[in-house]
Amino acid sequence: MEILKELGDIGVQRVCLSGGEAFIRPDIFTLIDGVIENRMRYSLLSNGTMITEDTIAALQTGKRRLRLDSIQISIDGSCAEIHDRSRPPKSFDRATRGLRLLAQAKMPVTVRVTLNHHNINDISGIAALLIDDIGLSGFSTNEAEYMGAARCSGQNIVLSKEERRQAMKILTELNEQYGRKISANAGPLAMATMVEDIETRIGAGETGRPGRGTLSSCGGVFSKMAILHDGTMVPCNMLPSLIMGVAGMHPVKEVWRTSPAINAVRYRRNVPLSAVPECKGCKYTGFCSGGCPAAVMAKTGRLIGIDPSGCYRAFHQDEGCI
């Protein structure tokens, strides 16, 4: 609670409570109340399996609903057979029950679908479940990266080059069918949007676009950071090896301003793609931004580099994509 007070005192406006699974903590509502008492808003990331009628009632108590921005639920299949391949066994029924309860209570619920080897042929089924059946206004997508659980599980769940192209085609068609109700900041749909934009600009004689041409893909480190379960502060929860300090021991404001770890990630946007070895000689650098730094770290062990799964030249040449 002292950390929440510190965050409020330095003017933090929003806190995202995630996991693991946020609702597994017996004190989750105490933490939420601490966020509210310190004049901040909050959002929650959940797998949905622990959300019950009592959870809904608790979220509607006091100012909890008023200060809640969103609850994001992870759904990775239209049925148990597919969803549970990517999630704990027997989790689909509980996850969709929790999602339906949130939707019925008109809570600000969103869904993230992580595309992977197991659900690549179920994308249309997932869309039908979420939009047609449950009645959501839309959902977002990304894809499994070679990090975290995907790296440790021993399962081959990361999309192949062919599967990524398949997903790009399916998602583009579904998005037209559903009136642009599917969104993405990363993954196959984002890649499809990027490819279309680049090819339109090239056709118009352009050689780049504003804000591109450097390792500028991630702006998150300019507006947020992460505090892990043990108090370790890192630039992003997907960059846990870049330790900035420990909350409660090191002032958050000072760490935010001066940490070499977060400033190293911020510095990436000063690096022109023409100086990145993988991009030398590429005529498309004016359109690109290098991809997620966490994905780059996971695949190369360094911050200065590109994520080949988001490389237009690799896509265009049909080679180099992971």
Concatenated DSSP letters of 11-58: T--EEEE-SS-GGGSTTHHHHHHHHHHTT-EEEEEE-STT--HHHHHH
The count of domains in the chain is 2
Q: What is the reported pLDDT for 102? A: 98
260 with 187, same domain: the answer is no
117 with 214, same domain: the answer is no
Strands 139-143 and 245-246 turn out to be unpaired
* DSSP H/E element including 111: strand 109-115
227 with 156, same domain: the answer is no
Select from 206, 224, 255 the last residue of a domain. Answer: 206
What does pTM read for this prediction? 0.91
Nearby residues of 156 by Cβ (< 8 Å), 6 or more positions away: 117
188 with 235, same domain: the answer is no
Domain with residue 8: its CATH number is 3.20.20.70
144 with 232, same domain: the answer is no
213 with 192, same domain: the answer is no
In tens digits, the chain (322 residues) has pLDDT values of 899 999 999 999 999 999 889 999 999 999 999 999 999 999 999 999 999 999 999 999 999 999 999 999 999 999 999 999 989 899 999 999 999 999 999 999 999 999 999 999 999 999 999 999 999 999 999 999 877 666 665 568 999 989 999 999 999 999 999 999 999 999 999 999 999 999 999 999 999 999 999 999 989 999 999 999 999 999 999 999 999 999 999 999 999 999 999 999 999 999 999 999 999 999 999 999 999 999 999 888 899 999 988 899 988 775 444 3
Respond yes or no on whether the N-terminal peptide bond of residue 20 is cis (omega within 30° of 0): yes
152 with 79, same domain: the answer is yes
238 with 130, same domain: the answer is no
Tell me which residue range forms the domain holding 150: 1-206
Select from 182, 206, 230 the last residue of a domain. Answer: 206
Select from 175, 206, 237 the last residue of a domain. Answer: 206
241 with 166, same domain: the answer is no
265 with 305, same domain: the answer is yes
162 with 303, same domain: the answer is no
Tell me the residue type at 33. Answer: D
29 with 164, same domain: the answer is yes
Using DSSP's 3-state secondary structure scheme, residue 229 falls into coil
